[in-house]
Amino acid sequence: MHDLFIYGTLLPGLRLESEMQDALRLGCARVPGRLVDVGRYPGLVQGDGRVTGEVYRVSDARLARLDQVEDMVPGDRAASQYWRERVTVLEGALAGQQVWTYVYNLPVDGLTPIPHGDYRRYIREVGRDS
């Protein structure tokens, strides 16, 4: 089993929530980094700030499926839109623990920053459907 931090369209109530069906929710969390608006979804990138999301426990099979959903090509970072990396939870029930997350792996020049790091709040603010 794997603990996975999600911060975008995989969250409950958003467009890809069905991909997390039957995953065990461990709680809300914040991790280091910043968010950018990639279009129909956000991207987490390195930087000063904190990103808001939730941590779930997922099986090997679910993680492999999510790698596909996130356009991650195992073993080929250059061919991947997102790359799965370990991050440390800064706040929340799992504070101090290492979890997986998907980091945006393409250039961010020209992308709109999401300064507060909360994708749900952002889509409400800009009036976007997820």
Please list the active-site residues: 70
Q: Which class for 9: exposed (0-12), middle (13-18), buried (19 or more C-beta within 10 A)?
A: middle
CA–CA dist 95, 85 (Å, integer) = 17
Q: Which amino acid is at 91?
A: E
CA dist., res. 105 & res. 18, Å (int): 24
